[in-house]
Every structure is written in structure tokens, then in C-alpha cells.
Amino acid sequence: MGQAIGDFLPSAVGVAISPLPIVAVVLMLVTERGRVNGPAFVVGWWIGLGIVGAVILGIAGGANASTSSGPATWVDVLFLVLGLLLILVAVKQWRGRPRGGDEPATPKWMSGLEQFTPAKAAGAGVVLSALNPKNLALATAGAAAIAQTGISTGEQVAAYVVFVAIASIGVAAPVVVYFALGERSRHLLDEMRTWLAKENAVIMAVLLLIIGVKLIGNAISGFST
């Protein structure tokens, strides 16, 4: 299982420090329903990542992701496609970054977070973890990295639980800070939100470029064996 964790770690970190979901959970925490909506968002986040993992690991199990000589060819093809996709997204993020004194744009739905119920907060967690294209690609890469190691089903599930735990650090940390510091956390969370919103494009561009190159490298190594 150690190899699986080493293989998926970059993807898990990529999901963990994705700024947009962190900004969303911070905004939820500073609303009147923050004490409920913050944890609900994290639970939805877990559910979304769990669904992606279950689907990918199930498909990979039926398609023999691992062979006696190493990962199956289709896994290397998947890594190549995901790597190229992430690099394209990285370029788009970089070109769309705020310049000079430009105010970073935030999704319109974030303006309605004050009216979110716990169910909507959980739904937002599911969407941002499982349906957000960047996080979906990273979670898919992480699950495929686990499947291609050839470990048992139980070990694959355990490894993916570790993936979800690491990938949830970014959205869970503000919730922990909120409950640990109470009202004193508001200033800290607001500074975190402002900085992440401003630097979102740059952070994701650099991160996705690094992970994309790594996935392409893994694919090339697999094709050469």
C-alpha cells in the first residue's frame, strides 16, 4: 500500500489545496449557519470523492489495471490523457490570472451562500469534489494510481481512504480553526479567503502543471516497459 500512497500523493495534495473549495467553505463558516454548513460541506466533499473512487476502482478492477509486468496499457493511456488535460487547464488558469490591480472574479453562486441550507452545503461539497473538472481529473488519477499497483481490494479501499483524508485537509482545516478559535477565527479566515481568491489562478496553474508533467512521465515510463 506504500507504493500506492506514494503514487497518488501529488494528486491528493492537488485536490487538498484547490483554492475555490476552500474559499467556499470559509464563506459558509462566516454565515449564521456556519456551525452546521461548514461540517456539512466537508461531509459532502467526502461523499463526492468517495463516489469517484468507487467508480474508478470498480472499473479498474474489472478491466485488470495491473498485469504481471506492471500497469496495464490503458492505465498509462489514462495517465497520458489526464496529464495533457491538466497541462491545458494550467495554461488556461495562468492566462486568466488577475493582472495588476484587477479584482479576482468569483462564481456567482457564492453570493448566495448565506441562504444555503445544510443539504445545499453538502451538495456543494459533492459538486466541488466530484464534478469540478480539475478535482475530478485529480481524483481519477489518484484512484487509477492505486488500482495499477495490483494490491488487494481491501488495500485499495484503505489506500483510497488515505487519499480522501489527504485531499480533505484543505477544506477541513478552516472548519477545525473555526471550532477551535470561535469568533477569533473570523479575521484569520477572512484573510485566508482574500488571499486564496486573489492567488487561485496562479496556485492552480503551477500545481496542475507539475502534476500533469508527472502523469505524463508516468505514462512514458509505462509505455517503455
What cell numbers appear for 14 in the block?
492537488
225 residues of the chain, pLDDT tens digit each: 778 888 899 999 999 988 889 988 998 888 888 899 999 999 999 999 999 999 999 888 766 666 555 667 788 888 899 999 999 988 988 887 777 666 666 667 777 877 889 999 999 999 999 988 889 999 999 998 898 887 888 999 999 999 999 999 999 999 999 999 887 788 888 888 777 777 778 888 888 899 889 889 888 887 776
| Nearest by Cα to 211 from 43, 49, 90 | 90
Number of domains the chain contains: 1
pLDDT tens for 17-41 read: 888 899 889 988 888 888 999 999 9
Q: Map residue 66 onto helix, strand or coil.
A: strand
Measure Cα distances from 122 to 7, 24, 72, 118, 158 in Å. Answer: 29, 12, 36, 6, 24
- The answer to whether 165 and 39 have CB atoms below 8 angstroms apart is no
Domain that holds residue 120: 2-223
pTM for this structure?
A: 0.84
d(CA 218, CA 7): 9
